[in-house]
Amino acid sequence: MGEDTDALVAMERILSPHCRVTRTSGGALIADWKRTRFVGMATADIQKLADEGSAERAELITSLTRARLAAGRQKQHSAIEVGLWLHAVHLLIRTIGFGRVLRLLSLAAPDYARADPASPADLASLKRAVHSHGRRSWFVNDDCKAEAVTAFVLLRRRGLKAVLHVGAREHPFALHAWTSSADVCIPDADPRGHAFTPVLSISGGGQ
C-alpha cells in the first residue's frame, strides 16, 4: 500500500496541474479537467513513474507530455511580465473597483494546485519583482491591492497554492491586502510593523 501511494504521489508531480488522479482497482484514472477527458493507467506503468532512474519512466513521461497530460514545471514569470500584470491589475481595480476584481479572480486564477509547493527562491524573486515595480511606478504607487492580486494570479496560473487576504486595523482604521504562499507574504502582511486582522481570505479562483 505504501509503495502504491508513493507511486501515485510521483505521478501527481509529473502531471499538469489541471489533472487529478484517482486510484482504481487496475491502476489509476487521470481526469483532465482542462480538456474534459479521462485516461487510464495500469499499475505497472504507475510504478515505472516512481522509478526515477528508469528509461521506461522517461518514455512514459514523453508520452504523457505529447498527450498534454504532463507539462513539467511551469517557468517563472519574468520581471517584465510581472510589471505588465501589475499595471493591468491596478488599472482594472481603478476602473471597476477592488470588489469586482475579486469576483473575477475565477477567470484569471484557476482553482487547481500542483503537488509540489512553491520554492522559496521563486517566491523571493516574485516578491522582489512586485515590490520593485510597485514602488518605482508612479502609476501603481505602492498599491497593496494591485500587488496582492498580481501575486495571487501569477502563482495560481503556475498551479501553486496561494491565499489572498484582505485585513483590517482598528486604530487608526486601515485596510491592507496581501497574498501568502509557503509562509511568504506579497506584499508584507504587516507593513511598517502594523498588524492587520484578515477579514476575507480567498484560496481558490474567487472562493
Q: What is the pLDDT of residues 116-136, one digit of tens each?
A: 677 888 899 999 999 887 777
- Is residue 126 assigned to a domain? yes
Q: Is 131 exposed, middle or buried (0-12, 13-18, 19+ CB in 10 A)?
A: middle
Task: For residues 94 and 180, state if they share a domain.
Answer: yes
- Say what the pLDDT of residue 20 is: 83
Tell me, yes or no, whether 32 and 89 share the same domain.
no
Domain presence at residue 207: no
In a domain, 23, yes or no: yes
Distance CA 18, CA 15 (A): 8
Q: How many domains does the chain have?
A: 2
56 and 91 belong to one structural domain: no
**Same domain? 54 vs 29:** yes
Q: Are residues 61 and 154 in the same domain?
A: no
Say if residue 28 is in the same domain as residue 112: no
Q: Is 74 a member of any domain?
A: no
Q: What local confidence, expressed as pLDDT, does residue 206 receive?
A: 46
Do residues 21 and 115 share a domain?
no
Secondary structure letter of residue 115 according to DSSP? S
Nearest C-alpha neighbor of 147 from the set 111, 106, 180, 183:
180
pLDDT at 201 over 70: yes
* Same-domain check for residues 54 and 88: no
Residue whose grid cell is 507593513: 191
Q: Is residue 71 assigned to a domain?
A: no
Looking at the fold, whether 154 and 127 belong to one and the same domain comes out as yes
Instruction: Give the structural domain span for 122.
Output: 79-202
Q: What is the pLDDT of residues 83-107, one digit of tens each?
A: 899 888 989 998 999 999 998 887 7
β-pair partners for 200:
166
Q: What is the pLDDT of residues 38-80, one digit of tens each?
A: 988 888 888 887 776 677 877 888 888 888 787 655 567 788 8
58 and 141, same domain (yes or no): no
